[in-house]
Amino acid sequence: MPFLTAKQIHDGNCWLPEGSVIEVSDDGVIISVLDTPVMDAVFYEGVLAPGFVNAHCHLELSHMKGLVPTHTGLIPFLKNIPQHRNDYIDDQKRMARNSGHDELVRNGIVAVGDIANTNDTMDVRSLDKLHFYTFVESIGFTEANAERSFGYAVQTYNTFATQQSANKVLKQAIVPHAPYSVSSSLFRLIDMHREDVIISIHNQESEEENKYYTSKEGEVTGLLLALGIDDSFFYPTGRSSIQSYLDWMSQHHPFIFVHNTYTKHLDVQYAHSRLNEVYWCLCPNANMYIENKLPDINMFISEEANICIGTDSLASNHQLCILSELYTIKEHYPALSWELLLSWGTRNGAQALQMQHTIGTIEPGKTPGIIQLTGLDTANAKPLVKRII
């Protein structure tokens, strides 16, 4: 199958001229992109595009599908997770994890930024289909316990680091869970662990997080109490969460801020002015599941933000599908073009995970995977995705 063409081809950046042809080797390496027709090219209906990148997932939580009710708001959702996450035996978790992995592959995803609290996902990382950047999440709000919390994350990180693959990307980093669950000391330890790694963090997923940092009001204290944490040491900063915790992090890490449902102009400007490389990962279906609210996407566009897309976990989503995430954005923001949305789901995701040299765009030398999309502009029906290469 050396030459492929379609009604429309999106190369990860934009639409290619009509009649363009992709030349690809049997093992998926792009050989050339031609802007003139080729006689024996295989023609596909709909759109051809590079494989999707899921910049935020939790394959580890796949067994929690359908367990937590929708629209509870973030704080009740978070209280639900620890109650249920260990209700299952290892075999059930393993099967759910594998089926989550297969769902990602089926939905045309070629790489995943995957959150881990344990080493459970070593098995799916060892499969051949997906590139992984595993974010080992460190949690601990009590200042005095920072070393202990960090030590646990280092152990998990080190075990992941023993895993290697000759034919795909396999990376890992220790990252903070969220502003309300990581102390300033733990932020600093995470920051200093490895200079060259990505920092990914759940950011401003709830207005309660901003209230807590600004004035120590709202529901976060109740959440911490329910988790047995005494927060009497915490003093509000008078600023939003992101404008507070970035004081404890260095600018040299690439950052992926995830969710951003309650992020404002000033927060984006603050991050852009302070950090070298910033990506804003939107998980619209999870936002609708938990908070029934989407981030202010036009605000991010007006700030020229790099937007990428994640699914979050099956605890807060009905599927692991980047096309479904883009479709939800398109439903709420019909003026946004598929040309722009597809670049968020492909090129920007690859850049966010620092995998742009391998995937994300259809360019000679890369192995991005090729997907076929049909029904993008069909009214009242969800579009479909199929992996071609």
By the criterion CB under 5 A, which residues form the site for Zn ion?
312
Q: How far is the CB of 58 from Zn ion (least distance, A)?
A: 6
3-state helix, strand and coil shares in percent for the chain, rounded to the nearest 5: 35, 25, 40
- Say if residues 44 and 82 touch (Cβ distance below 8 Å): no
What residue number has its CB nearest to Zn ion?
312
DSSP character at residue 87: S
Q: How far is the CB of 116 from Zn ion (least distance, A)?
A: 11
Query: Alpha-carbon distance 287 to 265, whole Å?
Result: 19
Helix (H, G, I), strand (E, B) or coil at 115: strand
Query: Alpha-carbon distance 326 to 288, whole Å?
Result: 13
Query: Alpha-carbon distance 146 to 138, whole Å?
Result: 9
Pick 11 or 312: Cβ nearer Zn ion: 312
Pick 120 or 312: Cβ nearer Zn ion: 312
Q: How far is the CB of 283 from Zn ion (least distance, A)?
A: 7
Pick 47 or 55: Cβ nearer Zn ion: 55
Pick 312 or 325: Cβ nearer Zn ion: 312
The CB density around residue 30, as the number of other CB atoms within 10 Å, is 21
Pick 55 or 389: Cβ nearer Zn ion: 55
Q: How far is the CB of 233 from Zn ion (least distance, A)?
A: 26
- Say if residues 361 and 368 touch (Cβ distance below 8 Å): yes
Pick 47 or 352: Cβ nearer Zn ion: 352
- Based on the number of CB atoms within 10 Å of its own CB, is 162 exposed (0-12), middle (13-18) or buried (19 or more)? exposed
Residue 304's alpha-carbon distances to 82, 268, 278, 354, in angstroms, are: 37, 10, 11, 19
What is 253-311 written as a DSSP string?
A: SEEEEEE-TT--HHHHHHHHHH-SEEEEEE-HHHHHHHTS----HHHHHHTT--EEE--
Q: How far is the CB of 139 from Zn ion (least distance, A)?
A: 12
Pick 219 or 312: Cβ nearer Zn ion: 312
Q: What is the H or E stretch that residue 82 is in? A: helix 74-84
Q: How far is the CB of 271 from Zn ion (least distance, A)?
A: 19
The CB density around residue 120, as the number of other CB atoms within 10 Å, is 18
Q: How far is the CB of 60 from Zn ion (least distance, A)?
A: 11
Distance of CA 238 to the CA centre of its chain: 29
Pick 114 or 312: Cβ nearer Zn ion: 312
Q: How far is the CB of 150 from Zn ion (least distance, A)?
A: 20
